[in-house]
Amino acid sequence: MKNLFYRYLSEIKAGFRISLIYRFNTLVHLLTAPINLVIFYFLWNAIYGYTGQEIIRGFTLPALISYYAVSIIISFLVWADIDEWMEEAVRQGYLVTDLLRPINYIGSNFFFLIGLKLLNLLIQTIPFFIIAVVFFNVKIAGPAYFLLFFVALFMAFVLNFFISFLVGLTAFWLMKIGGIRRMRRIFVFFLSGALIPLSFFPEWFQRISSFLPFEYIRYHVINIYLEKYTFVEVLRVMGIQLVWIVILCLLGILVWRRAYKKFAGAGT
């Protein structure tokens, strides 16, 4: 148990050290994020001004700007391209060397990603949060909601990890999965509410979407930060997140076993 802990800890450290090497790249994102936010502000300022309405689909203009600011923070911390690593590993053949390390494959990827994200937390998320509060009037959530937001954020991270991991597993059969990866990105982007909040979509669309995991990566997590939900509703969101995590995790383990056997040439 102790050894296992050290193994995963060393994955986190490896991820962190590698992120340090590419710190400049990380910093550039810190510059582009406020630009994104400004563009969203211009767009929605025009829309609210044109319609002359105070509230559109449950959002005031300041609330909507806060929505986008929190959305960017979620992108910083949750976004993961494990499917891209996996495709590379399968195609280039260095999956072999991954498999020679005495660690669970899913676990090692997960903790490595956490290590990578630690630096994002320090040099992207916190500075951007300060910028958003100071220049974009994003309000700081109450302590209870702030805490709940972080729990939901972590679950969103896990959820997104498994979606990306499952997409990555298709590489074991298809070798080239650029198309599927792009589809995953688009699905996660639109259906999680990154472009516009889901409440802007038609009713029927929202109903379909509620049966999918994507909106639990972003939309509901932001709404928790914006204190749009009662505590019971927050618990319900987290419950559904947990159910999706369990489903996708089990599916991930199952498919991974088959993928590994395929890779190792079982049954030939």
Cβ distance 73 to 125 under 8 Å? yes
The residue length of the chain stands at 268
Closest to 219 measured CA to CA, from 242, 239, 192, 185 = 192
Q: Which residues bind other proteins (CB under 8 A)?
A: 2-3, 6-7, 9-10, 13-14, 17-18, 21-22, 93-94, 96-97, 99-104, 261, 264-268
Q: For residues 232 and 266, which CB has a smaller minimum distance to other proteins in the complex?
A: 266
Q: For residues 17 and 236, which CB has a smaller minimum distance to other proteins in the complex?
A: 17
Minimum distance from CB of 250 to other proteins (Å)?
A: 19
- Count CB neighbours of 13 within 10 A: 14
Q: For residues 66 and 108, which CB has a smaller minimum distance to other proteins in the complex?
A: 108
Minimum distance from CB of 260 to other proteins (Å)?
A: 8
Say how far apart CA 103 and CA 122 lie, in whole Å: 28
Q: For residues 22 and 231, which CB has a smaller minimum distance to other proteins in the complex?
A: 22
Q: For residues 116 and 237, which CB has a smaller minimum distance to other proteins in the complex?
A: 116
Close Cβ partners of 103 (under 8 Å, ≥ 6 residues apart): 7, 8, 11
- In the structure encoding, which two tokens stand for residue 241, read together? 């997140």
Minimum distance from CB of 23 to other proteins (Å)?
A: 12
- In the structure encoding, which two tokens stand for residue 44, read together? 């929605």
Please classify residue 143 by burial: count the beta carbons closer than 10 Å to its beta carbon, then call 0-12 exposed, 13-18 middle and 19+ buried.
exposed
Closest to 215 measured CA to CA, from 243, 180, 189 = 189
Minimum distance from CB of 49 to other proteins (Å)?
A: 48
Minimum distance from CB of 164 to other proteins (Å)?
A: 21
Minimum distance from CB of 246 to other proteins (Å)?
A: 22
- In the structure encoding, which two tokens stand for residue 258, read together? 């088959």
Distance of CA 155 to the CA centre of its chain: 9
Q: For residues 94 and 173, which CB has a smaller minimum distance to other proteins in the complex?
A: 94
